[in-house]
């Protein structure tokens, strides 16, 4: 039995909630150990900073992976335009909630409250997703992939275009801010309001052990994101366990059969696509717009591929797997190497400025320069690692960690009952 | 054909394929607008400018030349993508980074040979930041050597990648292969960034500028791109028409199992596909850098969608389609400036890609597999 199988068996014995909480807690523990190891006297503040950042990342990627899992894992819609739908949601919220009287040089918005902006962003992302899906769903999976990625680039180029930076409609000025981006009322303010209001005792307690205010606010925001993840998970579990969800699984198994059973599969696919896009739009504003600012640079197609990596690690087809994959990806592959690279030093050996100087050390049998160069460039190398992990998983464990749980489309199991190695069983 | 018949045909097209009719109407309008702009007249309708404006023939021609040059390199790179798409049946998202890898290997070779003896330290030369600008006229031999190294280097890269990644998964579905290629793209791109850094380096600039017909101004580097890519396309044409390889590739694209039963060594054909496609991609990247003058670790990745557009517009699997699609997309990318603000020209090329995929997924030439 391979190690992956044994990990998988152990994962299977735990209930899903325990599994997810245990996973997130162990990533927090890793961060805590790292902070204690490198932080010295300041370890508590460093730990709060690490854990806060990693929680925000885990939350953001978990929402995105859940949305993608609904589209790809349940219905087989290969959408690689995630970045574009995130941009639609984030920009809609930004335009709706940006103040009408901004600071000098900033773009005015409509000044609506945040909750209106969030709903507006999700609705707009769903509408744009539906418009994209309407013609595109006829296409083969790989063509759909290319159409969606091209579509997401078009969206990015349009919001980047300075012609839309500031426009006026019916006398109301608003805009996207072009390449400089747009500032708006961010969900982060909710976290800071909480901390500065009801949460004052917590702040006082935290400052007692040396945790700074911004780090605590960041951590609070991360936990708020995890609550959004839990809510999304609940909604998606409701959807996928409903008769609607059964049709989605049936479409994934065999679309022709589903059609011949009288289901209008196109409608189901478009609806699924729209729900997923709405969730992506929400993640766009909550995750990328955390600081109350969005710019086109944040919505390059690479983020789409990170979400794919997260989902594939977790196993497409499983909601629990999506969250665990997102935690593994963002905690262990994306965040941890970068922090390690920053904080590990090779006593005295300064990293050479380029690879030639680094390799030159090998000539005199001194591997330290190359090692130092590698460590200082680890934030680049982690992407190589992510690529290699992706290839390894797709070659050897295409189900990821939990993808084997892929629920069947039927409500009763159609597998043959397990019997011994054949022959009579009641001897 | 009588007028009545023509009109009926037109109505049939309008009714059966409204999308095609819209595309025809839009292109007709743009053409009319272009003519009006060239003539320098403006047509007003109900007080708003309907079409027209001003555009000189000279600036139109220089846009055409720009588009043609980019299009030729994109077409060259697209040949490989089209071939792997039809023969291995998957969209290779790592193709753009093959372009980058070939370009870097070629330019390092060119830069070091050109810099030998000038006293510049080897690490500066290797990192492409000694500040020297190469051109075909002033440093002919290094540029030529770089071209060859770019081709050979990218062949080595794709063969290694195929051996490690795609060969163990020959019989898996095309989405798994696509995802694996995304992994390859990430790994390759950031390995390049690890070795060469993430800065943009200026490595080439035209050494000589000639003016043709007293209207078009073109540099020696651009002429090199033109000549080399046309020669290579001609070479590919001859290779596929005069050798058995072309026939074998066609057979494999059609039905791999049948091809194997007929005695075609499929694995060898796949290897030759990678060699041909990878080499052309590397050379295409090298030539693009020669033309644009700058190189950075993600230029191929950014170019990838444009290459996809070229391949899909020309029809997946068709090598002549990839060449023509490349030129067409290059022209769209550059000529869109006549109608659109400069921030949106690239979006128009992607829009062409989407429209073609939706209305005519087999490509504008009707999907004749000419490989």
User: Is the CB of residue B337 less than 8 Å away from at least one CB of chain A?
Assistant: no
Res. B149 pLDDT band, cuts 50 70 90: very high
Residue A144 CA: distances (Å) to CA of A71, A308, B144: 12, 15, 40
pLDDT value at A277 more than 90: yes
Query: Among A395, A87, A147, which residue's Cα sits nearest to residue B166?
Result: A395
Position B171 in a domain: yes
Contact A157 B189 (CB under 8 A): no
**How large a percentage of chain B has pLDDT more than 90?**
16
Q: What is the dihedral of CA A356, A360, A362, A368, to 10 degrees?
A: -80
Res. A119 pLDDT band, cuts 50 70 90: very high
Do residues A114 and A316 make contact, with C-beta atoms less than 8 angstroms apart? no
Residue A240 CA: distances (Å) to CA of A20, A80, A246, A261, A401: 19, 22, 7, 19, 20
Position B48 in a domain: no
Query: Which of the listed ranges A200-214, A333-347, B325-339 does the model predict with the highest average pLDDT?
Result: B325-339
Do residues A67 and A44 make contact, with C-beta atoms less than 8 angstroms apart? no
- The pLDDT, as a whole number, for residue B183 is 92
> Rounded to an integer, what distance in angstroms lies between the CA atom of residue A84 and that of residue A80?
9
3-state secondary structure of A173: strand
DSSP for residue A182: E
Position B107 in a domain: yes
Res. B268 pLDDT band, cuts 50 70 90: confident
pLDDT value at A365 more than 80: no
> Rounded to an integer, what distance in angstroms lies between the CA atom of residue A241 and that of residue B68?
54
Mean pLDDT rounded to a whole number for chain B: 81
Contact A160 B343 (CB under 8 A): yes
For residue range B51-104, list pLDDT tens digits in order: 666 677 777 888 888 889 989 989 999 988 988 888 888 888 999 999 999 999
- The pLDDT, as a whole number, for residue A117 is 86
Query: Which positions in chain A touch B296 (Cβ < 8 Å)?
Result: none
Mean pLDDT on A325-351 = 80
Do residues B82 and B316 make contact, with C-beta atoms less than 8 angstroms apart? yes
> Rounded to an integer, what distance in angstroms lies between the CA atom of residue A21 and that of residue A18?
5
Burial of B139: CB neighbours in 10 Å, binned 0-12, 13-18, 19+: buried
Residue A200 CA: distances (Å) to CA of A207, A208, A301, A394: 11, 12, 40, 48
Tell how far CA B220 is from the center of its chain: 20
Res. B371 pLDDT band, cuts 50 70 90: very low
The closest CB to that of B123, out of A142, A143, A356, belongs to A356
Res. B49 pLDDT band, cuts 50 70 90: low
Q: Within 10 Å of residue A52's Cβ, how many Cβ atoms?
A: 22
For residue range A195-240, list pLDDT tens digits in order: 777 767 777 777 777 777 778 888 888 888 999 999 999 999 888 8
Contact A143 B357 (CB under 8 A): yes
Closest CA of chain B from A245, distance in Å? 23
Mean pLDDT rounded to a whole number for chain A: 81
Do residues A222 and A55 make contact, with C-beta atoms less than 8 angstroms apart? yes
Position B115 in a domain: yes
Burial of A173: CB neighbours in 10 Å, binned 0-12, 13-18, 19+: middle
User: Is the CB of residue A166 less than 8 Å away from at least one CB of chain B?
Assistant: no
Mean pLDDT on A313-325 = 86
pLDDT value at B316 more than 50: yes
User: φ, ψ for residue B51 (rounded to 5)?
Assistant: -155, 175
User: Is the CB of residue A380 less than 8 Å away from at least one CB of chain B?
Assistant: yes
Do residues A89 and A280 make contact, with C-beta atoms less than 8 angstroms apart? yes
Residue A281: half-sphere exposure toward Cβ, Cα within 13 Å = 28
DSSP for residue A101: S
Mean pLDDT on A96-113 = 75
Cβ contacts of A337-345, under 8 Å, gap ≥ 24: A337/A378, A337/A379, A337/A381, A337/A382, A337/A385, A338/A378, A338/A379, A338/A382, A339/A31, A339/A34, A339/A50, A340/A34, A340/A375, A340/A378, A341/A375, A341/A376, A341/A377, A341/A378, A341/A379, A343/A34, A343/A38, A344/A38, A344/A375, A345/A375
Total number of domains in chain B? 1
Contact B187 A394 (CB under 8 A): no
- The pLDDT, as a whole number, for residue A122 is 93
Query: Which positions in chain B touch A357 (Cβ < 8 Å)?
Result: 123
- The pLDDT, as a whole number, for residue B187 is 92
pLDDT value at B266 more than 90: no
Q: CA torsion sign, B106 to B108 to B109 to B111?
A: positive
User: Is the CB of residue A242 less than 8 Å away from at least one CB of chain B?
Assistant: no
Strand bridging mode A182-183 / A293-294: antiparallel
Q: In this predicted model, which residue has the larger pLDDT, A140 or A427?
A: A140
Note which residues in 36-75 of chain A have CB less than 8 A from chain B. none
For A358, residues 6+ apart whose C-beta sits below 8 A from its C-beta are A351, A352, A369, A370, A372, A373, A374
**How large a percentage of chain A has pLDDT more than 90?**
17
Q: Within 10 Å of residue A17's Cβ, how many Cβ atoms?
A: 11
Res. A426 pLDDT band, cuts 50 70 90: low
For A191, residues 6+ apart whose C-beta sits below 8 A from its C-beta are A217, A218, A220, A221, A224
- The pLDDT, as a whole number, for residue A105 is 65
DSSP alpha helix (H) spans, A79-113: 82-97
Closest CA of chain A from B187, distance in Å? 4
Do residues B318 and B370 make contact, with C-beta atoms less than 8 angstroms apart? yes
3-state secondary structure of A296: helix
- The pLDDT, as a whole number, for residue A410 is 59
Do residues A407 and A317 make contact, with C-beta atoms less than 8 angstroms apart? yes
Query: Among A36, A85, A13, A99, which residue's Cα sits nearest to residue A293?
Result: A99
- The pLDDT, as a whole number, for residue B184 is 93
Note which residues in 174-203 of chain B have CB less than 8 A from chain A. 174-176, 178-180, 182-191, 193-198
Residue A102: half-sphere exposure toward Cβ, Cα within 13 Å = 23
User: φ, ψ for residue B201 (rounded to 5)?
Assistant: -110, 140
For residue range B211-260, list pLDDT tens digits in order: 777 677 778 888 888 889 899 988 888 888 788 887 887 777 777 788 88
Q: Within 10 Å of residue A45's Cβ, how many Cβ atoms?
A: 20
Q: Within 10 Å of residue B7's Cβ, how many Cβ atoms?
A: 10
- Domain residues for the domain of B216 are 69-313
Contact B357 A145 (CB under 8 A): no
Q: Within 10 Å of residue A194's Cβ, how many Cβ atoms?
A: 16
Strand bridging mode B294-295 / B201-202: antiparallel
Closest CA of chain B from A216, distance in Å? 33
Q: Within 10 Å of residue A218's Cβ, how many Cβ atoms?
A: 22
pTM, two decimal places = 0.86
The closest CB to that of A381, out of B188, B194, B309, belongs to B194
For residue A267, give the H/E element and its range: helix A265-283
For A228, residues 6+ apart whose C-beta sits below 8 A from its C-beta are A59, A63, A282, A286
pLDDT value at A427 more than 50: no
pLDDT value at B1 more than 50: no
Residue A321 CA: distances (Å) to CA of A73, A158, A238, A394: 11, 35, 16, 15
Mean pLDDT on A245-265 = 85
Closest CA of chain A from B189, distance in Å? 8
Position B97 in a domain: yes
3-state secondary structure of A251: helix
Mean pLDDT on A95-111 = 75
Query: Which positions in chain A touch B187 (Cβ < 8 Å)?
Result: 383-384, 387-388, 391
Helix axes B299-314, B57-87, angle to 10 degrees: 80
Position B184 in a domain: yes
Position B81 in a domain: yes
Position B15 in a domain: no
DSSP for residue A332: I
């Amino acid at each position: 039995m391979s190690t992956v199988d044994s990990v998988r068996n152990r994962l299977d014995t735990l209930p899903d909630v325990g599994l997810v909480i245990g996973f997130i807690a162990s990533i927090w523990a890793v961060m805590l150990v790292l902070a204690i190891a490198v932080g010295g006297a300041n370890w508590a503040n460093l730990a709060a900073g690490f854990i806060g950042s990693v929680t925000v990342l885990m939350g953001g990627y978990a929402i995105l992976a859940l949305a993608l899992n609904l589209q790809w894992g349940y219905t087989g819609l290969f959408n690689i335009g995630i970045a574009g739908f995130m941009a639609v949601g984030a920009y809609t919220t930004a335009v709706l909630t940006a103040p009408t009287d901004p600071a000098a040089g900033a773009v005015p918005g409509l000044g609506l409250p945040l909750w209106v902006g969030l709903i507006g962003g999700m609705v707009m992302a769903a509408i744009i997703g539906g418009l994209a899906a309407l013609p595109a769903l006829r296409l083969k999976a790989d063509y759909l992939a290319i159409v969606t990625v091209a579509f997401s680039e078009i969206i990015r180029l349009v919001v980047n275009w300075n012609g839309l930076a500031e426009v006026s409609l019916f006398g109301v000025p608003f805009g996207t801010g072009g390449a400089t981006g747009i500032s708006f009322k961010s969900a982060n303010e909710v976290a800071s309001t909480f901390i500065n209001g009801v949460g004052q005792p917590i702040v006082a307690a935290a400052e007692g052990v040396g945790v700074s205010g911004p780090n605590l606010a960041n951590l609070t925001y991360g936990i708020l994101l995890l609550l959004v993840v839990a809510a999304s998970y609940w909604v998606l579990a409701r959807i996928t366990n409903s008769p609607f969800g059964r049709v989605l699984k049936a479409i994934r198994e065999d679309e022709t059969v589903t059609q011949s059973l009288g289901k209008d599969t196109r409608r189901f696919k478009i609806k699924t696509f729209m729900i997923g896009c709405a969730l992506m739009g929400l993640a766009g504003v909550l995750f990328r717009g955390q600081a109350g600012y969005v710019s086109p640079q944040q919505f390059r197609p690479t983020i789409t591929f990170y979400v794919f990596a997260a989902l594939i690690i977790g196993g497409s087809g499983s909601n629990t797997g999506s969250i665990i994959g997102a935690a593994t990806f963002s905690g262990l592959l994306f965040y941890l190497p970068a922090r390690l690279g920053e904080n590990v030093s090779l006593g005295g050996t300064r990293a050479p400025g380029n690879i030639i100087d680094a390799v030159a050390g090998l000539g005199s049998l001194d591997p330290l320069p190359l090692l130092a160069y590698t460590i200082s460039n680890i934030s680049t190398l982690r992407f190589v690692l992510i690529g290699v992990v992706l290839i390894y998983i797709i070659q050897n464990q295409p189900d990821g960690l939990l993808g084997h749980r892929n629920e069947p489309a039927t409500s009763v199991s159609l597998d043959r009952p397990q019997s011994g190695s054949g022959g009579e069983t009641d001897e | 054909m009588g007028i009545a018949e023509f009109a009926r045909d037109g109505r049939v097209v309008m009714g059966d394929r409204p999308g095609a009719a819209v595309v025809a109407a839009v292109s007709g309008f743009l053409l009319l607008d272009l003519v009006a702009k060239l003539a320098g007249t403006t047509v007003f309708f109900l007080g708003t400018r309907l079409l027209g404006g001003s555009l000189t023939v000279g600036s139109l021609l220089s846009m055409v030349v720009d588009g043609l040059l980019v299009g030729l390199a994109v077409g060259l790179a697209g040949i490989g993508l089209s071939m792997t798409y039809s023969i291995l049946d998957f969209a290779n998202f790592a193709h753009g980074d093959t372009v980058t890898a070939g370009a870097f290997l070629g330019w390092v070779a060119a830069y070091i040979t050109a810099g030998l003896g000038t006293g510049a330290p080897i690490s500066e030369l290797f990192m492409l930041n000694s500040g020297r600008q190469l051109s075909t006229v002033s440093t002919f031999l290094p540029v030529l050597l770089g071209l060859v190294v770019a081709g050979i280097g990218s062949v080595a890269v794709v063969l290694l990648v195929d051996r490690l990644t795609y060969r163990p998964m020959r019989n898996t579905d095309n989405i798994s292969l696509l995802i694996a290629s995304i992994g390859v793209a990430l790994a390759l791109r950031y390995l390049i960034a690890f070795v060469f850094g993430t800065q943009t380096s200026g490595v080439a600039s035209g050494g000589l500028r000639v003016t043709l017909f007293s209207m078009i101004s073109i540099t020696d580097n651009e002429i090199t791109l033109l000549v080399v890519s046309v020669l290579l396309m001609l070479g590919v044409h001859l290779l596929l028409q005069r050798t058995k390889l072309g026939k074998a590739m066609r057979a494999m694209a059609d039905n791999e199992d049948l091809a194997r039963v007929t005695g075609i060594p499929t694995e060898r054909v796949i290897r030759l596909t990678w060699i041909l496609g990878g080499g052309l991609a590397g050379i295409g990247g090298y030539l693009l850098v020669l033309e644009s003058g700058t190189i950075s670790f993600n230029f191929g990745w950014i170019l990838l969608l444009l290459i996809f557009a070229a391949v899909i517009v020309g029809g997946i699997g068709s090598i002549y389609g990839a060449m023509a699609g490349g030129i067409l997309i290059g022209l769209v990318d550059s000529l869109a400036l006549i109608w659109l603000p400069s921030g949106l020209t690239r979006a128009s090329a992607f829009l062409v890609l989407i429209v073609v995929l939706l209305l005519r997924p087999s490509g504008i030439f009707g999907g004749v597999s000419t490989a």
